[in-house]
Amino acid sequence: MSITRKRKKELRRLQADANQLWENQQILVGHAADVAREAGRQLGNFSREQVAPAVQDTYSRRVQPVVDQSVRFGKHVVDDKVVPIVGGVVGSALTAWDVANAKRNGVVRKVEKKVRKAVEPEKKGPGAGSVIALILGIAAAAGVLYAAWQALRADDELWVADDPLAAPEA
């Protein structure tokens, strides 16, 4: 089938109108994007200059005091009420536990022996080091005495002169 010239002409005109409409829509969409970008920038400026200070002021006047008061009250309750009670309970439980363990392990008897030893004075006697030092001291003294005896003993042969004293020759 062939299309008539009239129909071809109408189709070309319709296609040109569609292309023109498409170009106009592209321009319109570009302008819309520019307007949206500018609106976003202006909204950011407005938020920074107007909204944020108002929110900050309201927060600091209304919310912050309540939060601070709640924190102080919570800290007061924990520090002055909960911690002492829990500490007392835990301390009592640990003390009871320690006493039970001490009785079970015989630690009480060991502690009593240590206390008795601390109260009663210990008998002091010479230790092994003292005995060894005393023996070495006695041996050294004996060595010195023997050396002196050897040096000073009366040995006749040691003290006899070889030549009698003679008068000098003239």
pLDDT tens, residue order, the chain (170 aa):
688 999 999 999 999 999 999 999 999 999 999 999 999 999 999 999 998 898 889 888 888 888 888 888 888 877 888 778 878 877 888 887 777 776 666 666 676 777 777 667 666 777 788 889 899 999 999 988 888 888 777 665 555 555 555 555 65
What lies within 8 Å, CB to CB, of 103 at 6+ separation is none
Burial 29-45 (b: 16+ CB within 10 A, else e): eeeeeeeeeeeeeeeee
For the chain, domain boundaries: 7-119
Report the pLDDT value the prediction gives residue 107, as an integer from 0 to 100.
62
